[in-house]
Chains A and B, each alone.
Chain A
Amino acid sequence: MRTDYDERRAARVLLLDAQDRVLLLHGYDPADLARGGWWFTPGGGLEPGEEPAAGAARELYEETGLQLAPAAFTGPVYEQVVEFPLDGRRYRQSEAFYVARCESWDVDTSGFTDLEQRSVDAHRWWTLAELRGTAERVYPDVLPELVAGLLVAPAREGA
């Protein structure tokens, strides 16, 4: 099969707290500020040979300070492949989404890489109602559906 793109693998984490809120980071592409920012889950590229759940655990620790064993992650609950250009090359990335839970967590971003320090400017815990109603940009598009399938807290009347 001819490939004219580089393959990458990534793991992303749906971290839910005791109120079924999901943690999202907010950031932007420092090379394209005019594009605006968006909300996304913690996660990132896997290292060569790295198991996805281990990569999910590593990325969650690096980006939030929360250390969980790979066995604490369930999934993947969703997978998708995306294709994009970067610095003159084409990449095809398969992304696997894992789920982890915490009672609550005070996000610590001191483990950010240089790029993350320059591109991530906020974090927020989102309820499902907030995800469904927002006009802000959220990645990926199926996030509300994924979260809806994971709720365990007692149902509340929401917007």
Chain B
Amino acid sequence: MAGPTSLTPLSRGSEPPPGAPPRPWRLSGRLLVLDPDGRLLLVHCHDPVLPAFGEWWEVPGGGVHAGEDTVTAALREVAEETGVVVPPAAVLAGRWSQDTTYLWLGARRWARQVVHVARLDSAPAVVAARPTAGERESFLGPVWVALGDLAGRRTFPDDVPALLPRLIAGDHLDGGLAVWS
């Protein structure tokens, strides 16, 4: 019987495989960043371990470190992954929480994820990105994407275009469990 580390992607929205580690899962923060032109900052990604899976556009973010909350973790991760420095004052009140599981670089990951949203009113400062080794393998580069250009593209997490207006309006959303791959 295949263990939970089987590398076959699950269909979106399916039940987690048996043997899912008990919750709570690792806490992570992500940040949807809108520029003054309404474009979204995303990281273009692929998985070299699963090339047939294809590409996706990822909301930058990652694990929360000791002493951080999901906003500070997300701000740090955006700077590390893309080089874009988002002022804390640009972060809005909306938040989108969900448990999620996905395959990445040969392992199944499990996370409790909180997605925040920030709106820039001017061009942000940009520093050198400092991606981790795994990110360097998976990241094809940061891109600013117009919302209309997201149609038909896979995002991580799913449903970004549909939920973005509600996040900008300040809603607190709970996405339950999202099996992404």
B56 in contact (CB, < 8 A): no
- Residue pair B19, A137 in contact (C-beta under 8 Å): yes
List A residues at the B interface (Cβ < 8 Å): 1, 3, 9, 35, 38, 79-84, 92, 94, 96, 132-142, 144-145
B67 beta carbon closer than 8 Å to chain A? yes
Q: How far is the CB of B89 from chain A (nearest CB, A)?
A: 14
B23 within 8 A of A: yes
Chain B residues with Cβ below 8 Å from A140 are: 21, 26
Residues of B within 8 A of A79 (CB): 65-66
Contact with A along B20-35 (1 / 0, CB 8 A): 1111111100000000
A83 touches B24 (CB 8 A): yes
Q: Which residues of B contact A (CB under 8 A)?
A: 1-5, 18-27, 63-69, 72, 107-110, 112
Partner among A80, A84, A94, A145 whose Cβ is within 8 Å of the Cβ of B23: A84
CB distance from A136 to the nearest CB of B (A): 6
- Decide: A141 and B108 in contact? CB cutoff 8 A: yes
The one of B19, B27, B112 in contact with A136, judged by C-beta atoms closer than 8 angstroms, is: B19
Chain B residue with minimal CB distance to A5? B69
CB within 8 Å for A82 and B26 given contacts A1-B69, A141-B108:
yes
